[in-house]
């Protein structure tokens, strides 16, 4: 905005029509107020900033040539002359997603339809939109972001693509934190574990080794998941009550949640 020095009003551009209302021409106004602007320089600067932001050049005439090339490219590749068309934006967004997350596209089969919307397979193998049934459904970018996060964390427990809540509920893979086909690797039987437990409780006279109350739990000094070799060694186990078993043995770094997330 520029200010007229005669009437002190602000205008985007001081035109000759307004200056004639004060009885002077543009030439006379410039001679009278040499340090005052008519607004032309500001408009040119704004155009340069706009051209630099949208086209990467400060020359408006060059920006027109770049716009024509962009319109030609959009028309040939996307069927529209408008670079701001939603279809063009969707396709560019998908292409950028594919460049930034190549691992996702190695794991999941994702494509785009004629409108530029991403398509994927439902994880429920009984669904008509599943890969097994040869179907597709429209994905949201929230689903894709959740799947990327899941793959980066490496929990392997869901955030697969589902076309409905019903499919998510029915699918046996939803919410699984480990390989459902992996056989459990147990170093001892249930009978051996019970014998070990009775031995430790009898050795300690069923007394908590922390507070002296009645004990009904056996705590492993070395976590069974991390060191299964010592899981039946009474030298690394002691009796404890329920409260001490949690507070002394299964809190902090040795909490059940932390141990469950460790990969051995």
List the structure tokens of 241: 């009550």
29, containing H or E segment:
helix 26-32
**Any long-range contacts for 12-21 (C-beta under 8 Å, 24+ apart)?**
12/39, 12/43, 13/38, 13/39, 13/40, 13/43, 14/38, 14/39
**How many helices (H) and strands (E) would you count in the chain?**
11, 7
List the structure tokens of 44: 């040119």
Q: Do 237 and 218 meet the contact criterion of CB atoms below 8 Å apart?
A: yes
List the structure tokens of 205: 């006279």
Dihedral angle sign, alpha carbons of residues 4, 7, 12, 18: negative
Q: What is the DSSP letter of 254?
A: G
What average pLDDT does the segment 2-27 reach? 81
The pLDDT tens digits for 221-239 are 877 767 777 778 888 888 9
- Is the pTM for the entire model greater than 0.75? no
Least-confidence region, from 17-21, 27-31, 81-85, 111-115: 81-85
Cβ atoms < 10 Å from Cβ of 129: 21
The pLDDT tens digits for 48-96 are 777 777 666 677 666 677 777 777 777 776 666 676 666 777 888 888 8
Q: What are phi and psi of 92, to 5 degrees?
A: -65, -40
Which candidate, 214, 215, 257, 213, places its Cα nearest to that of 238? 215
């Amino acid at each position: 905005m520029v200010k007229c020095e005669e009437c002190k009003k602000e205008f985007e551009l001081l035109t000759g029509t307004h200056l004639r209302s004060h009885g002077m021409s543009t030439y006379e106004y410039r001679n009278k107020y040499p340090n005052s602007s008519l607004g032309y320089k500001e408009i040119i600067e704004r155009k340069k900033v706009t051209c630099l932001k949208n086209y990467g050049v400060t020359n408006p005439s060059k920006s027109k040539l770049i716009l024509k090339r962009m319109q030609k490219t959009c028309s040939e590749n996307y069927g529209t002359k408008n670079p701001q068309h939603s279809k063009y934006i969707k396709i560019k967004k998908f292409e950028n997603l594919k460049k930034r997350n190549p691992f996702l596209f190695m794991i999941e089969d994702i494509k785009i339809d004629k409108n530029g919307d991403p398509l994927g397979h439902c994880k429920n193998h009984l669904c008509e939109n599943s890969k097994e049934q040869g179907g597709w459904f429209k994905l949201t970018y929230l689903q894709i972001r959740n799947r990327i996060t899941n793959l980066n964390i490496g929990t392997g427990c869901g955030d697969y693509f589902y076309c409905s809540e019903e499919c998510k509920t029915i699918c046996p893979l939803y919410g699984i934190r480990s390989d459902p086909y992996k056989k459990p690797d147990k170093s001892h039987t249930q009978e051996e574990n019970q014998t070990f437990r009775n031995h430790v409780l009898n050795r300690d006279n069923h007394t908590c080794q922390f507070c002296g109350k009645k004990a009904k739990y056996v705590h492993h000094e070395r976590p069974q998941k991390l060191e299964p070799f010592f899981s039946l060694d009474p030298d690394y186990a002691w009796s404890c009550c329920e409260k001490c078993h949690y507070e002394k043995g299964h809190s902090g770094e040795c909490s059940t949640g932390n141990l469950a997330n460790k990969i051995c």
